Homo-oligomer: A and B are copies of this chain.
Amino acid sequence: MSHIKLLKNHTLKATPQRLCILDTLQECGHATLEDVQKIISKKFPTLSLSTIYRNLNEMLQKDIVSEVKIANKKDYFELKKDKHVHLVCQNCGKIEDFEIATDDISKQIEAQTGDKVLNDTLYFDVICKDCLSAK
């Protein structure tokens, strides 16, 4: 879906600032606030920091954007997309999305705890394929 439609669907005006923020996230995949700020300052130098904060918060609220919180790292933002886990390379720092079924482990938890599992958020520290082959 176009970013314009995405915004309108969530009753947000499609301002150039918002579109720029969405484009930046799309480009980056996963970006910290600092990343977003830095990239935007080139593409759109007048876009203010308040506007970045305000809109990232709004988009989080509206679930257009989600947060990726990795221990010992700054928080990342990403466009909301299909459910996926994150593979974080400990060598090059790259963060990759990966789709995998997590039903088995959820079922196991339900069976062993009596809790009802609604959702999950999984991170894997890896050495990525590229870093492995570069050795």
* A contacts, CB < 8 Å to B: 60, 66-72, 75, 85, 87, 89-90, 96, 98, 100, 102, 104-106, 108-109, 112-129, 132
Q: CA separation between A113 and B89, bound complex, in Å?
A: 12
CB–CB B69/A87 < 8 A:
no
Closest 7 CB pairs of A and B: A69-B69, A114-B129, A115-B126, A119-B125, A121-B123, A116-B127, A118-B125
Known: A87-B115, A132-B114. A71 touches B121 (CB 8 A): yes
In the assembled complex, which residues on chain B have CB atoms less than 8 Å from the CB atom of A96?
113
Q: Determine which of B72, B113, B128 lies in contact with A67 in the assembled complex, contact meaning CB atoms within 8 Å.
A: B72
In the assembled complex, which residues on chain B have CB atoms less than 8 Å from the CB atom of A105?
100, 102, 104-105, 122
Nearest CB of chain B from residue A66's CB, rounded to whole Å = 7
A89, A105, A126: residue with the most chain B Cβ atoms closer than 10 Å: A126
Known: A66-B71, A71-B66. A113 touches B125 (CB 8 A): no
CB–CB B69/A70 < 8 A:
yes
CB–CB B115/A132 < 8 A:
yes
